[in-house]
Chains A and B, each alone.
Chain A
Amino acid sequence: MSERSPDDIDRPEVSNTSRRCFLKRSAQLAGGIALAIQPLAPALAAEAKPAAPAPAPAAKKPEDRMKYLFVQREHCTGCRSCEFACSQFHEKGIVRPGVARIHVKRFHGVVDIPVICWHCEDSPCVKACPTNPKAIAKDKDTNIINYIDDKTCLGAKCNKCIEACPANFLRRHPETGKPMFCDLCDGDPHCVKACKAQAEDTAAAMRASKVGFGVNLAYRDVTPKEAAKALHTSLFYPNKDGERR
């Protein structure tokens, strides 16, 4: 057993101030007693990352509509509130993640990746649709991909759009067999509004306002599997055998 010396790692001394704040906080945490809150000295300064931009406000005018989803994957806690909200919007208030358009998958047992539609410029799914007329279309102005007439869709007899989807996003409806597309809730996505991942975490100023959705282009065009690998590699550290598990 190796003893850790203080030199091994940057381990700041616990100052009296932060100790006191911590105890206060612990008291609240244990007893639920509201005490005055002092902002805590950020203990995690070394790990700090720039705060994510606030999510777009609810769309009111056509030019304010959200046209893409971006996922700040490293902030995702895997709570699946987005799935709950998505299905509630699309299923008349009923929770049913089995038919949610967004879904959160866990990879390597330790990272959660929200799988979203990229709303690709060239929409490979629409291109791949073999029927004439096509069953699906993308609205150029709103970026919404949806059925023109879902009776045209061949459902379980066809797999073209699912194969063509570069995001591995499309899933079949468990009963109809037809793929489910992201319509961005008509420009005001409910998944984004539901996401409170690590939000309003007042105890840690550095982590405040982090939510799982942002506007960073770097989060697009990466398949869920690649994203999981990247996140797994960046968060976790290999052991002596070079494995991360």
Chain B
Amino acid sequence: MAEPKGGYFGKMLEVDLTAGKSTVRALDEAVLRDYIGGEGLGAYLLYKELPAKADPLSPANVFMMLTGPFNGTACPSARLNVSFKSPHTGIYGHSQVGGPIGNEIKWAGWDVVMLKGKSPKPVYIAIHNDKVEIRDASAVWGKDTYATEEFMKEDLKDDEYKTMVIGPAGEKQVYFSCIIVDRFRAAGRSGGGAVLGSKNVKGIAVKGTKAVPVVNVEAFNKAAKEAWDLGHNVEAWAGIKRWGTGGLMEFANYVSGSLVTKNYSTSWFADVNMIGGEEASRTFWKRHVSCPNCPIHCMKLGVVRTGGNYDGLIAEGPEYETGVMMGSNLGISDLDACMKGIETCDAMGLDTISTGNTIGFAMELMERGILTPADHDGMKLEWGNAETAIEMVNKIANKEGKAGALLSLGVKRMAEKIGKDSIKYAIHVKGQELAAHDPRGFKPRGVSYAMGQLGGCHHEGNSPEGQAIWAYLSSMVLCSFMAGVPWSKRNPGIVCDMLNPLTGWNTTPDEYWATAKRIITIMRSFNIREAGISRKDDVLPVRLRTEALPEGPKKGAVFTDEDTKKMQDDYYAYYGWDENGIPTEETLKKLKLDFTVADVRKKA
């Protein structure tokens, strides 16, 4: 076992919550080189550490916070990855989150923090460099995310700790509960909040003062400066700096025809001007906020100041996903109410995408009479009724009443429970609700939803090659706005230029592509082992394959069976999987994944 020379500390902190003990484990340089970190290393460790077919909400599940080689270095915009077996989808679950905590974990001297077992009482974990404490959190059990953050900083008597917390939804183990970093940033997808809640962990606070070792400082800093400049100087990013992703709402409505509206029934929302980026910048936004060492400052903080019920509400957004899912998807055309919905999700610790999608689904079922107010606590969910929608968010978070219990199941389980025609309107892939881009209007996004290893996630890459790039970037835990478009012309060269002087390796573009394929394939292997995922699961929801868009710039577009077949065939061919979507033995061996052969080929 070789120790890494640079870019990593080669150390993993394993916290056994059942015993209340922590141990230090070494990470082998060869493993780090094969899986890089973040998503890739997470999949590898989960494959090795998790007993096959373990219940995601049992103490057996493994929760990991993973950094990448670039966290805590001069490379811009490094984030944090959390990985676990998802309680929402039953397959590999991971989520990326911005904010300072990824770097802080690295500066504390850890590449990975792994939580195992279950604490007997509510706790939070405080990490200050090598010092690890498991502290009582009973006082804030049941409190919202912001109060929890404040409590942890006060309890530790140091406001320089960076925090990551769950809200009431995570405690109640709502399947799509999220983890909130720095009050406004969320590791949203796949239900990481529920996994932490099942372990009785309310949060993690980290403070680090170490430095990441670099093998060749001068060469690394030069490449990192180039990477920073690429991100800063992209002309197209002026819009992201100015409007964040919220500005894409108008674009999706008027140009790409992919603005999700009223539970995917259309992609045209006449009132988009009332909730989009321009409206937000006129009436709501106050500040631009950045992730560490990032010049793009895509996050917008604002305060409601237009009078009315929500006056004085401080919130973050609307981002493209949050604004669409809590706005046009619910037919809401009041920005203040939309922001209240988003803020409630953040405070309660719910994934805004899944929450918005689930409420939209229920609204449609009610409109069609499949669900009635009588069996829904008398609540009448209808398009554009923001107050009821916000009340519903609170009910989901607390699993309150019949309505809260039903909607906290998420779209797939709801459809299974309700039956009837509801499956026609259920918008999910592999149990994960789709995000705010309609793949009928923008077909490449269908690849991300249908073929991505996370289920219906918009962030997995829009082509087979795109998914390989994303897998690598997510393993380095870099941001898509920095490492995606801005670096695209210099990729993978820019990555190798930074990685080699940092670590002392000699990674080539060929190795880059092989590593990316290895990461995708091990995630697939894990999904096959846990849930028998195959070709039949790699499809978009029925509605997107059968109903054409009724209006808007892409009127008449539908994701046809030919589109699906071509997408699947191209994808399996690119990764060397068989026609059923199962990696072949040859591919597995070529990618040094021999240990998965028995599990994977058994299913074929």
A interface list, Cβ under 8 A from B:
1-4, 8-9, 11-12, 14, 22-23, 25-34, 37, 43-44, 77-81, 84, 87-88, 91-99, 105-106, 109-112, 174, 196-204, 207, 235-240, 243-245
Contacts and interface: CB of A to CB of B under 8 A. Distances in A.
Contact of A26 (B239, B283, B386): B239
Contact of B183 (A1, A109, A197, A202): A109
A87 B307 CA distance: 45
A237 B214 CA distance: 45
Contacts of A43: 278, 281-282
Contact of B311 (A97, A237, A245): A237
A9 B283 contact: yes
Given A8-B307, A11-B282, A79-B293, 4 more contacts: A1-B308, A77-B297, A84-B293, A204-B242
A244 B314 contact: yes
Contacts of B236: 28-29, 31-34
A26 B259 CA distance: 13
B247 A26 contact: yes
A174 B303 contact: no
A96 B107 contact: yes
Given A1-B334, A26-B250, A239-B312, A81 B293 contact: yes
Given A77-B289, A79-B290, A110-B314, A94 B211 contact: yes
Contacts of B312: 236-240, 243-244
B520 interface: no
A245 B293 contact: no
Nearest to A207: B242
Of B74, B149, B221, B294, most A-chain CB atoms within 10 Å: B74
B257 interface: no
Contact of A29 (B72, B251, B336): B251
A245 B295 CA distance: 26
Interface string B249-260: 011001110000
A197 B312 CA distance: 26
Given A8-B306, A81-B295, A30 B314 contact: no
A29 B248 contact: yes
B132 interface: no
A3 B386 CA distance: 11
Contact of B305 (A12, A23, A78, A237): A237
A202 B254 CA distance: 23
Interface in B180-233: 182-183, 208-212, 214, 217-218, 221, 232
Interface string B133-154: 0000000000000100110000
A203 B241 contact: yes
B545 interface: no
Contacts of B234: 32
A33 B489 CA distance: 12
A174 to B, nearest CB: 4
